[in-house]
Chain A
Amino acid sequence: MSDVGAPQRAGRVLVIDDEEQIRRALKSVLQARHYEVDLAETAEEGLELTAERTPDIIVLDLTLPGMSGLEACRRLREWYHGPILILSVRNADDDKIAALDLGADDYLTKPFSTGELLARIRALLRRTAGIDASATEVRSGDLCVDFARRVVTVGGEPVKLTRTEFDILAYLAHNAGRVVTSHQLLENVWGPEYVGDTKTLRVHVSHLRHKIETGDVPRHVLTEPGVGFRFAELE
């Protein structure tokens, strides 16, 4: 989990933001962590640079002049398959959810700390790099999810989960640290025809929590109000 890591190329990041100060700050912060950074001021410029430089990840501000961040997100998703991290402002929940449903992978609310930004970028890159996808298990605190054997243990004790509960947990754990929308969960666990049935999802998540959460309040599966859920990466 070291930030600085080896001096080799950590990844290519495209930052699309109309604020000069934010672009400069992100550039210096990311370059210090050995990311290669491209900067775009508008959505149009961002689309061009994406085609030209094929970044590993795009950091996209939602409030852009001209073409909106949402529209840019929609167009990018037509052909760009790398992760998109949304930057939104406080209290603009609707835009944030719309972007996530359009295929953005996670969001950060401005202002954010460098630590948060780097953690999100790392989590997203890890997933696309195929490291986590091929991982056989995920550990977080007292919880361990073994994907291959479909076994979940809490504090070393195996926990009996239904097939649906395991699928939900597995999907969340695969995306550890990253927000997963209800839409995505429903689509991936139940199938596209179940999208919208958030009530069923909530019931299953509630049962899942009963089995894996040992504390007074949930620590592993957290609710992201209005958006979905997030699997917390605990020490």
Chain B
Amino acid sequence: MNWRKLISWGDGYPFAVGAVLLASLVFLPFRGLLQATGFMLLYVPVIIAVARLSGARQSATAAVLAFAALDLLFVPPYYRLTVGSLPEWIGLIVFLIVALVSGQQTGHLKQREQAALQRQRELELLNRLSFRVASEKSPHATAEFIVSQVAEVLCVARAALYAGFSAGGTPGRLAETGDAKVASGEAALVSWVLRTSKAVGLPPSEGVPYEQRLVSVAAEEAIPGLVTDGVYLPLQTASSLEGVLVAIPVPERPLSADDGRLLAAVANLAASSLERQRLEEEASHTEALREADRLKTTLVSSVSHELKTPLAAATARVTGLVEEGEGADPERIHAELAEVADDLERLNSSIGDLLDLSRLESDAWEPHLEEYDVRDILGTVLARLPASERERIVFSIADDLSSVRVDFAQMARAITHLVENALAYSPKTSRVTIGADARRRGVAIWVEDRGAGIPDAEKDRIFEKFYRGDASASAPAGTGLGLPIAREIVRSNGGELRVEEAVPHGARFVILLDASALEGR
């Protein structure tokens, strides 16, 4: 049996009456042993107990009832309201006064105690909330925490928080708690609060006023015909409306003015926290956009430069020849056209590189992995180089090489980029070595040149798009996409591309294909 429920049933009055009746029944058998004054003393603790458990008013009822019981049952003549002697009258009157006063005192004490307890819980709640909302990063988690705390501390049937509609959409319920279903008219009231920034259903302030800007109206005023005891608070900051906090109390415990003030404080905290999170998100989004914009600008300017330069050169030469007409020297025409062919070749390779990179970056160029002999791939790489460049290539391939599991065409393209890069960045008379050897965890394919090498500071940057090295003024023409493409290809084939220093000088690019790239499926 639930004592608390039994005591508070009917506002505690049935309990007060019952307590006095029960006490009377218990005392009655001892009527012969004590005088009436003795029974008066015995009733006082009962009155105090009622005051303690139910409250001052209930104890007053109990006092009056005990007065009647004493008169009827314990002061002769029994079962009559008349009293035999004056002293007994005085005794009864004194009892009534004592009972009433001690009941009142106890009742008030209890009230104050309860109020103090409530204050303490509210303070703890605000304390917890302020710490949590200051550190919380996700609006959802913040909302969850707030509604769970409100439900717990205010013992409400339902608490909910609506937010995330700053963009102008319909209110989204961010978090809710409690067993109660969504109150009827809740959506309408939430929309109304959002529209007007006014609170709905806040209890009367009883002395200490609410914050000035917090205007509250009855539910019926907001939506005619709607009756609810719920409280709907706007989550208002100085500059924006972040959402709505809803608290629906249980019928036995309507919300007090203190509860209202607590809810208003919670709403303030929630509002500032949600605003902070929203602004942070907006800021990071803006930052990301700005970065993307910057990259796009770089890309567009580099791309247009790469495409326009050879085109402009070719156009200039060809229009020059057209201009000259038939008088042009055939030898010069031939020389000019050879240059034009070079320009067009460069234009073609730039376009090809851009296409490759965009396909790699959008995952539209998936590798078809199969097992191949490394020598086979290197043979194709060699065959694709211009005959004049082939003479600069030497090989250093280990005998005990296992086959690799790669996309042949992609890997050949990646190695070709590395070889072209090595040829371009080293003296025309120097050799470029293509090597392959077994490593502890797989196979390494490397390309080594005898150029100036790559300064440590640039080792990461060379894999960035359009990066051409610090000495770019003297750097050979190229898209600056070869290395990024090679790295992307190697990565999508499950390997790793790194750059090392060659001995005695120069750069060595190493493609590491680990065991997983060697094993079958």
Chain A residues near B (Cβ < 8 Å): 90-91, 93, 111, 113, 206, 209, 215-219, 222-223, 225-226, 232
Contacts and interface: CB of A to CB of B under 8 A. Distances in A.
Contacts of B396: 216
B408 A226 contact: yes
A219 B375 CA distance: 10
Contacts of A232: 383
B373 interface: yes
Interface residues of B, number: 27
A215 B434 CA distance: 13
27 contacts: A90-B352, A111-B344, A209-B375, A209-B376, A215-B395, A216-B375, A216-B395, A216-B397, A217-B378, A217-B379, A217-B381, A217-B397, A218-B376, A218-B379, A219-B382, A219-B383, A222-B380, A223-B372, A223-B376, A223-B379, A223-B380, A223-B408, A225-B380, A225-B407, A225-B412, A226-B368, A226-B409
Contact of A217 (B341, B348, B356, B395): B395
B409 A93 contact: yes
Contacts of B376: 209, 217-218, 223
B513 to A, nearest CB: 17
A225 B409 contact: yes
Contacts of A91: 355-356, 359, 365
Nearest to B377: A223
B379 A219 contact: yes
B51 to A, nearest CB: 91
Contacts of A90: 352, 355
Nearest to B381: A217
A33 B344 CA distance: 22
A150 B348 CA distance: 44
A129 B90 CA distance: 145
A215 B395 CA distance: 9
A199 B372 CA distance: 11
A88 to B, nearest CB: 13
A39 B436 CA distance: 49
A94 to B, nearest CB: 11
A90 B397 CA distance: 31
A219 B355 CA distance: 29
Where chain B touches its partner, the secondary structure class is helix
A113 B337 CA distance: 13
A111 B365 contact: no
B408 A225 contact: yes
Contacts of B359: 91
A232 B356 CA distance: 27
Where chain A touches its partner, the secondary structure class is loop
Given A113-B341, A217-B379, 10 more contacts: A90-B352, A111-B344, A216-B378, A216-B395, A217-B376, A217-B381, A219-B382, A222-B379, A223-B380, A226-B408
A91 B355 CA distance: 9
Contacts of A218: 375-376, 379
Contacts of B368: 226
B408 A206 contact: no
A219 B379 CA distance: 6
Nearest to A93: B409
A59 B72 CA distance: 127
Nearest to A112: B348
**5 closest Cβ pairs, A-B complex:** A216-B395, A218-B379, A225-B408, A225-B409, A217-B379
Contacts of B395: 215-217
Contacts of A216: 375, 378, 395-397
Contacts of A209: 375-376
Contacts of B378: 216-217
Most buried by B among A90, A206, A216, A218: A216
A172 to B, nearest CB: 14
Contacts of B407: 225
A226 B382 CA distance: 18
Interface string B320-363: 00000000000000000000010010001000100110010000
Nearest to A205: B376
A226 B368 CA distance: 9
Interface in B402-460: 407-409, 412
Nearest to A218: B379
Contacts of B412: 225
A206 B171 CA distance: 69
B408 A111 contact: no
B382 A217 contact: yes
Contacts of B377: 223
B368 to A, nearest CB: 7
A114 B218 CA distance: 87
Nearest to B359: A91
Interface in B124-171: none
Contacts of B341: 113
B337 to A, nearest CB: 11
B373 A206 contact: yes
Contacts of A223: 372, 376-377, 379-380, 408
Contacts of A206: 373
A208 B348 CA distance: 36
Contacts of B355: 90-91
Contacts of B397: 216-217
B436 to A, nearest CB: 9
Most buried by B among A90, A215, A223: A223
A205 to B, nearest CB: 9
Contacts of B379: 217-219, 222-223
Interface string B60-100: 00000000000000000000000000000000000000000
Nearest to B341: A113
Contacts of A215: 395
Nearest to B371: A202
A222 B375 CA distance: 10
B352 to A, nearest CB: 6
Interface in B375-401: 375-383, 395-397
